[in-house]
Chain A
């Protein structure tokens, strides 16, 4: 596989469920990002990791919990979500923080 991959591509979950989104990059990059994209809203940066260390958390609710075990993998753990959390969640990576970003295809999340 090349580039940035995300699994699953689609996820439907109830408000009491716990699920995780996975992102993997095969580009040798050191920085990884989570974005939320909702209909008719700007792209929202959620978290940034640089060399496995979290460098940004843009006031994201604690029901979203990121994990970056190494520079190639990034997870977003979800629990007790709300319907307004339904969105496309995009993962991206860059060689270093601030560099041009390469995106995965996204996970379309629906919270029922």
Chain B
């Protein structure tokens, strides 16, 4: 069935390091793909999205490219900050099969000064 798989955490990086969080998906039809971020004590916030193959979503220095050939939507940031410490969730939306929305398990990121 439709699903999202993202890399296990936790991830710990030093400030200004390069970040990659891997996300791959399995889907029937043509999904839209999302990254959400959850800061401590808060709900999930939409970080970026891409609705078709080769689209690149970007926001706050984060980027992810919808790669249909590898069924991936990896999250990247060139230089992380302490304030980026949060849990990141990959998600997909399928409209062809009853309008379903699937979340990955989340990847915890801690950035140390």
Contact = CB atoms under 8 A, between A and B. Distances in A.
Interface stretch (B62-70, B73-81, B98-106): B98-106
Interface of A: 4, 6, 42-43, 50, 90, 92, 94, 96-106
A100 B42 contact: no
B45 interface: yes
B49 A105 contact: no
B44 A90 contact: yes
A1 to B, nearest CB: 15
B103 A42 contact: yes
B93 A90 contact: no
Q: Which of A6, A42, A96 has the most CB of B within 10 A?
A: A42
A90 B94 CA distance: 21
Nearest to B96: A98
Contacts of B32: 100
A97 B43 contact: no
